[in-house]
Amino acid sequence: MRTLELPGGATMPAFGLGTWKIGESAGRRAAEVAALRAAIAMGYRLIDSAQMYGEGGAEEVVGQAVAEALRAGDVRREALFIVSKVYPHNASRAGTPKACARSLARLGLDHIDLYLLHWRGEHPLGDTCEAMQALVAAGKIRHWGVSNFDTDDMEELAALASDCAANQVYYSVAERGPEFSLLPWQHERGIPLMAYSPIDQGALAADAGLQQIAQRLGIGAAQLALAWVLAQPGVAAIPKAVRESHLRENLAAAALTLHPEVLAEIDRLHPAPRRNRPLAMI
Ligand SMILES: NC(=O)c1ccc[n+]([C@@H]2O[C@H](COP(=O)([O-])OP(=O)(O)OC[C@H]3O[C@@H](n4cnc5c(N)ncnc54)[C@H](OP(=O)(O)O)[C@@H]3O)[C@@H](O)[C@H]2O)c1
């Protein structure tokens, strides 16, 4: 599994599994735990979750799957990279550690590998930074970062703290806005960009142009979309999937290298942005 270097020198898998829409229904829980376990067994090492997903339900599903995988000896805790996020309304100096403690309890873990501010909210950014840094010092999280931060937000953050490890934003072959200024800004500073909704919530699997190229390469359009995201320097991707066929296809896509001519063809289909526009959010 390819890794990305975080500021400070630690590494993070460049590919992982999203968990939005998981943990929302008790009836689907067993199947979702089984999907997470299958993912870990087939080699997924980064799992992205959030306090928001299923209002804690997704973290519980991740916690159960990870506990079972650890007990079965499928993986070691140190090999996993667990990401979660704090709701902005909880991201105060006092609220952040409390929210983190609740996430840790649901995950059944003693630390989270990367803890993100889900998006900017009403609490002063400096307070959130201090709370995150205190959580690192206490060993509750290994790294902290942000999500849905545009370039100006990152500039503001950089004036307050120098240890932000990542920014997770909407980035896909059909949503290339971050390439105009955010991605170069982060790349220059060695801060990885985690691409969420990298297959546009499944829609890119049906993109006619991508399908045509993918067919020629003997892969699926969703795989092509993922391989394209992962070909961008300093970018990680976290597609969500519960269907085993999707899990396998996506993992296989993480190992693909696209020929420059294929990248150029994709550029013609979905061109890079020519001007700055506000960061898109899903
Ligand atoms: N920070 C944020 O604000 C934010 C916002 C959005 C998302 N995220 C994170 O990013 C993750 C990924 O984004 P997302 O869930 O919005 O969308 P996504 O990963 O682009 O797409 C997920 C959808 O695509 C389907 N799919 C997966 N692999 C496929 C394949 N190979 N072929 C065809 N369809 C496929 C999945 O189906 P099945 O599930 O049925 O397999 C699911 O319906 C989230 O789960 C979450 O962890 C973060």
Region 78-83 average pLDDT: 98
Q: State both tokens at 230.
A: 């992962």
What is the per-residue pLDDT for 231?
97
CA distance 141 to 110: 9
Q: Is 20 in the pocket of ligand 1 (CB under 6 A)?
A: yes
Question: Of 53, 115, 171, 196, which one is the catalytic site residue?
Answer: 53
The reply to whether CATH 3.30.565.10 applies to domain 3-269 is no
- What is the rounded average pLDDT for all residues in the chain? 98
How far away, in angstroms, is 26 Cα from ligand 1 center? Answer: 20
**Is 171 annotated in the active site?**
no
Sequential DSSP letters for 235-281: EEE--B--SHHHHHHHHHHTT----HHHHHHHHHHSPPPSS--PPP-
Ligand 1 mutation pick, 196, 229, 243, 249, max ligand atoms within 8 A of CB: 196
Q: Which two tokens stand for residue 122?
A: 């009403």
Strands 11-13 and 3-5: antiparallel
pLDDT tier at 267 (50, 70, 90 boundaries)?
very high
Please give the Cα distance from 18 to 226 (Å, whole number).
13
Who's near 260: CB < 8 A, 6+ residues apart?
none
Angle at 132 between CA 131 and CA 134, to 5 degrees: 65
Ligand 1 geometric centre to CA of 271 (Å): 22
> Model confidence at 155, in pLDDT bands (50, 70, 90)?
very high
Q: Please give the model's pTM, rounded to 2 decimal places.
A: 0.98
